[in-house]
Structure formats: C-alpha cells, structure tokens
A and B are shown apart, each in its own frame.
Chain A
Amino acid sequence: MTTMSADTQTFIEHALARSEQLDQEQPGCRKLREAGRTLLGGGLPEGRFEQWKYTRITPFYDPAFAAAEAAPASAGDKKNLVQWPQQRVDLQLPDAAHNAAPAQNLPDGLTVVSFNEADEQTRPLLDQYLNLGIDPDRHTLNPINMALLADGLLVHVAADTRIDPLLSLTSLAGGLPASCQRLLLVMAPGSRATLLEVADHQLPRNLVVEIHLGRNARLDHTRLQPASEHNVWQLLHCRIDAGAQYHFNGYAMAGTPHRNEIHLQFIGEQAEAYLRGAFMANGRGRLDHQMCIEHQAAHCRSEQQFHGIALDKSELTFNGRIHIHQHAQQTDARLSNKNLLGSDSAKVNTKPELEIYADDVKCAHGATVGQLDAEALFYLQSRGISTEEARRMLLHGFVGSVLPDDDAFGIGDHLNQVLDQWLG
C-alpha cells in the first residue's frame, strides 16, 4: 500500500479503536470484526484506480462511521414508497442504535435472528457463510463494514420450504451519525422466497447483503433505493448453487454519491440469474454501479437489462463485468445497458468488461448512451401530445420497460412520480 493521507490514517485508527470497543459492547460479531480489523490494518486505497475511476473513494471513509455516539432511535416510519402487501414478514436491519425487531409469527421453516443473538443452531451458519466468497480487493469498503458492524441480521429458509409471505426488509435511520448494516440470507436447497428491500438512506450508510442460494433454491429480490443526501455504499453479494434461480429487480436513485456493487457467483451448474433495473439521477447526483457476474460453473445463464437516466448535471456510471471461468462451458451471459442523457451537462460512463476463458459460450454485451428518440417524440407530438408531455412519457416508458413483470409493489408509479418531480 502506498502512503495514505493523514485523514485516511486517522479514519483507520478511529475505526480500529471503535471496533475494539464494539467487541466489549456487542460481543456477537467479534470474529467478523477481527477479520475486518486485520484487513483495515493493511490500509485503505486512495486516489483513482480502475474500479474507482469515476467516483472518489475517500469520502466513503467517513469519520462518522467510527463515532461511538448512539442517540435513541427514531421509531422508523415505513415510508409509503411502495405498496406493501398484507402478507409479509417485516425484517429490520439492526445497527449500533437499533435492535433487530423481534420476529413474530414466523412461518414454518423461516428463521430470523440477529448476529448477536445467534445460538448453537444458527451460529454455525454465520461461521460457514459470513463473508464467504467476497473478494476484499474488489469490494474495498467491505472491511469497514466488517470492522464496524455492531450487529447484523441472519435469515434462514429451511430446505424445500416455500415462504409465501413477502420478506420485507427495511433499515431505520436516526440515532447514529452513520451506520453499518449487514444481512445474511441463507436459502437452503429447494427453498423459495421473495424479498423486498426498501432502503431509507437518511445517513451515510455502509450496507452489505449476502445471499447464498442452495441447490435449486429460488429468490425473487426487489430493491428500491431512493435518493439521499448522503454517501451510501452497498454491496450485494450472491452465490448461486446448481439449479438455483435468482431474480433481481433493482431501482436506484443517485446520492452524493451512491455506489452500488453487485457481485454474483455461479458456483453450480444449470443455475440462472435475471437482473433488471433502472438508475436515475438528477441535480448533481451521482450513482456508480459496479456489476460483476462470475460464471464459475458450466451451463449457467445470466441476463441483465439496466436502463439509466441522467438529468441536469448528474453523473451515472455503469461498469458491467462478466467473467467466464475456464470450466464454465456453455455459459449464456447477456448484458444490456441503455442510458438516456436528459441534458447537455449530464454524464454517463458505461463500460463493458468481458473476461472469457471458456471457448464454448454465448456472451452478448450492449451499452448505449443517447438522447430521447427523436422519431418517438415526433410520433407522440403528431398526435397532439405536447413536447413536455411527450418527453415525460418517453422517460416513463424507458423506465417502464425494465420494471418487474407484474410490478406488484407499484414501483413504476413511484419512479414516475420521482421523475415528474425532477422534471418539474
């Protein structure tokens, strides 16, 4: 590691001290923190380097993460960002200021426990899965999460069990100057569940979601990340075993800045992942999305379709990496990233990154950046629709074409409202 600035060194010192303090207060995640401290002890990168080409990394070394103060938590109102179905299990991510809400009336086969409250039954799951397969060189901010995690949430779905109610995950704000949170979702072989994750990033956040899909498991995962004024870094790490299916629908709005890293690993054959989503930025918002799909097993399929809209002076970054390992023959990997620039001062950086070491694979990658389709605008206007309205409709349509199939949570309506507000 080259020499670090004094600020970063101070951040690390404070983080290490706070981490040790947490060992006294919250002994539950000690092992993870120890591992985090070891990594942090090796230093943190600075400056611009390949994975942090468009976003400055140092603002994420926010001293607030290492602060010990913990004011009483605000009772987190569930914002009406989506339509919450009646049938659901409410999950709440704990942090230094919030306990995990005690899980009540859980359906058979669903276990929910905070890391700190794990018992003989659940502790082995933490030991086996926590941090499994996460590359510290690629996800440079994970060590901060590890070292400063006060508590996390473990969700386990038993083998061959289908959880019908929606798993609805929220994180509360308030009570802290910044918060590290972590979810570990382990889906045993043959299990099935639906997860809705609605973030409320009203403070700087470092969030890691780890998902382990056992053989033939299936998870439908929808994520809504509203705009916020804070630095948000989040990692979604998903390991997919043979025959399993992962369906992800993610909708993110920019922050100052937001950085999302998604890392999928196919570790068993015949597994499939379908990822779809939209990114929207306005004002001076920034959203940096780093996508990495690792095909480590043969006969798997991944399909990604992401649309980005950059308005005003905002900046979107999309890095789509597909890595097909030597043994991953007969892989079918597709990625499409389309972006619309809503103004001359908006910016989009989109880059494909293909690394293919197997010879018998199908791989398609397309990335575009453009203005609203002039032909489509003319078509709408020729029917009497005003320029403004036509523009609005086309933007809605652009987002509308990457919504979840049934859009049961009304995400489309929400995104349209946000867009209308942005367009003024």
Chain B
Amino acid sequence: MLEVKNLHASVAGKPILNGLNLAIPAGEVHAVMGPNGSGKSTLTNVLAGKPGYEVTDGEVTFNGQNLLDLEVEDRAHAGLFLAFQYPTEIPGVSNMEFLKAAIDSQRKAQGEPAISAMDFMQQARAIAKRLDLNPEFLKRGVNEGFSGGEKKRNEILQLLMLNPKLAILDETDSGLDIDALQVVSDGVNAFRAPDHSVLLVTHYQRILNYVKPDRVHVLARGQILRSGDASLAQELEARGYGWITDAA
C-alpha cells in the first residue's frame, strides 16, 4: 500500500527526516513511536503534502503511484487520510458543509455524482452516534470550540465518512479519556479491512491494547531505528527509547 524509501525532508531549511524507510502492506496496522521532536508529525505532514515541508531525497509510492507528485487534494482522492495531531478550527464553516464538500469532492474525482443530502445526513448521524458525538456537532463550525477529545473524535468521524485506503493517525489517542479511547479505538478497528491500512503514531502502548498493530516502528533522529511486533511497544513502555537511540 505505502512504501517510503530513503526519505529526506526538511522544514524551514532544517533537515528532520534523514533517510527514512517504511513499508505498510495492505490490510496492516503499523504503529510508529518515538521521542518528542523526532519527526513523526513531519513524516505524516510530508505524506499528506503540507506546504513548507520540503522533500530533499527519497521516494514514496502509494498503491503504485508516486505520492510526492500529487497535489494535496489528489492524495486524498487517491485514498490517503491524515487525522491531525492538532485539528484546525475553521469558524463559520459548518462541520456538515465541510464533510459534504469533502465527500462530494472525492466522489467527483471518482466520477460519481454528489451524495444526496438524505444519505449524507443518515450516514453522518449514524457515525456520530457510534462515536458518542452529539449530532449537534455537525452544525457547529469545524472544530470550533471543540474540546481536545471532541476534535479527535471528529477526525475519526471524517475517517469513517470518507473511507480512505490509508489512515494516518497522528496521536489521535493523545488527550482522550478512557471511554473516548475505547470509542476511538472501536472506530479505527471498524475501519480495518483487508484493503485498508493504518499508520498509527502514538506515544502510548495503551491504544495498542485496543488496536492491535501488525508492526511497531521506532522513529528517532529522522529514521526508523528499529521495527518489531507488538511486543516492541511493551518493551519501549518499560525501557524508554535510550537503549535504541544510544545503540544507533
């Protein structure tokens, strides 16, 4: 599904990613962990195409396409979805209007007609309910005045509505209370499918109890320094990152 080879990227002239390699096959969930400032969000932003992130070397293929050649919106149309670490507030644009525009733009790219208002509302309400989000949230400005946890649930709402191929979750579990973590994990598990993949950035082993990863990677110093199965997360929880970064 996703293949990142020797990726070098800098922000504001400062190199952050230094030869990162990562491959996520279809149907798998890969967790990426690593110290603060190691470049995890940089990786997710580079993949989503955020302006200001300059790729200086390497390549990224997404379902056979050269991802780095695509515009931001075309990456979404190709099936890439990023759940933001800090979702943006957009006052004056209602969540509903935003979601419908997003779905319609993707349908249009697929050559499909716009979703009917009724189908849309039904789906949105059903998914909001599943995520324990009051349907009133659909009427409010995008993320406007949402609590931290509400914003994260709103990201998962979008994930389930847009149904991409690859979900990149940047610390979607941070700042969630125990119940919300369960709800969000259920959402991610509902997304799991043989033709769906997940790149899950997290600091905590806890979410991995709910969303079982196929692989766990440690990102530090702009590279994947170690990869393993789910037990690696437990080891990190017990030992920290020092033993990996020191060895490198």
Contact = CB atoms under 8 A, between A and B. Distances in A.
Interface of A: 373-376, 378-387, 389, 393-394, 396-401
B73 A386 contact: yes
Nearest to A398: B92
Interface in B50-103: 50-51, 71-73, 75-77, 81-82, 84, 87-93, 97-98, 101-102
Given A375-B88, A378-B72, A382-B82, A393 B97 contact: yes
B146 to A, nearest CB: 13
B106 interface: yes
Interface of B: 48-51, 71-73, 75-77, 81-82, 84, 87-93, 97-98, 101-102, 105-106, 109, 141-142, 158, 162
Nearest to B102: A383
Contact of B141 (A382, A383, A401): A401
20 contacts: A373-B88, A376-B88, A378-B72, A379-B84, A379-B88, A381-B72, A381-B73, A382-B72, A382-B76, A382-B82, A383-B98, A383-B102, A387-B73, A393-B93, A393-B97, A393-B101, A397-B90, A398-B92, A401-B91, A401-B92
Given A380-B90, A382-B48, A397-B91, 7 more contacts: A379-B84, A382-B72, A382-B76, A383-B76, A383-B162, A384-B77, A397-B90
A5 B97 CA distance: 55
Contacts of A399: 92
A394 B90 contact: yes
Given A383-B76, A383-B98, A383-B158, A389 B88 contact: no
A380 B50 CA distance: 11
B101 A396 contact: no
Given A394-B93, A401-B92, A379 B87 contact: yes
Contact of B92 (A379, A386, A397): A397
Contacts of B105: 383-386, 389
A401 B140 CA distance: 11
Nearest to B103: A384
Contacts of A387: 71, 73
A378 B51 contact: yes
Given A397-B92, A397-B141, A380 B98 contact: yes
A374 B51 contact: yes
Contacts of A375: 88
B85 to A, nearest CB: 12
Contacts of A382: 48-50, 72-73, 75-76, 81-82, 84
A385 B101 contact: yes
A316 to B, nearest CB: 18
A384 B91 contact: no
Nearest to B144: A401
B106 A384 contact: yes
B92 A396 contact: yes
B6 to A, nearest CB: 25
Contacts of B72: 378, 381-382
Contact of B109 (A378, A384, A396): A384
Contacts of A393: 93, 97-98, 101
> 10 tightest A-B contacts by CB?
A397-B92, A401-B92, A384-B76, A400-B92, A397-B93, A383-B102, A381-B72, A379-B88, A384-B105, A384-B106
Select the residue from B77, B101, B109, B142 with max chain A CB neighbours within 10 A: B101
A399 B141 CA distance: 13
Contacts of A400: 92-93
Contacts of B92: 396-401
The winner among A374, A375, A382, A399 for most chain B CB atoms within 10 A is A382
A384 B70 CA distance: 12
A385 B93 contact: no
Contacts of A397: 90-93, 141
Nearest to B50: A378
A398 B91 CA distance: 7
A396 B142 CA distance: 13
